[in-house]
Amino acid sequence: MFVCIGNACRSQMAEAFARMYGQDCMVAASAGVAPAGFIARDTRRAMAAKHIEMEEQFSKGIRQLGRAEFDLVVNMAGSVLPKDVFPGAKVVDWYVPDPVGMEFEEHCEVRDAIERRVMELILELRRE
């Protein structure tokens, strides 16, 4: 589970990369602490530049997940997540800047940083 604030940029990119590269070792999902209700246009554009479409993805909140259980939660929100939402899950914090309002080139830099981190996570999971 990849979590950010609005589930409009960072967590959506992480989910898309995880789905593209890590299907053999994870089932990826994403959510937001305060969902924006949309995926940012520049996020879709930045991912399309990497030939990754996000047609199946949509913005959702962590409370909309019901009783879904996750082994690992990657927190990119920049704040502590509510403890009752992901009971039993290991939570790791990734400090990734929020690209909302950034120029497209900076948005792509954030995308590339997320891609690297997701690839590192996938390699770690494959070793386990």
Beta-carbon count within 10 A of 100 CB: 17
C-alpha separations of 72 from 13, 26, 27, 34 in Å: 17, 10, 11, 20
pLDDT for the residue 69: 86
C-alpha separations of 124 from 22, 36, 70 in Å: 11, 31, 17
Superfamily (CATH) of domain 2-127 = Response regulator (3.40.50.2300)
pLDDT for the residue 77: 95
pLDDT (tens digit, 9 = 90+) per residue, 8-53?
Answer: 999 999 999 999 999 999 999 999 999 999 999 999 999 999 999 8
Q: What's the pTM value of the predicted model, to 2 decimals?
A: 0.95
Give the residue extent of every domain in the chain: 2-127
pLDDT (tens digit, 9 = 90+) per residue, 103-116?
Answer: 999 999 999 999 99
Tell me which DSSP letter residue 61 carries. Answer: B
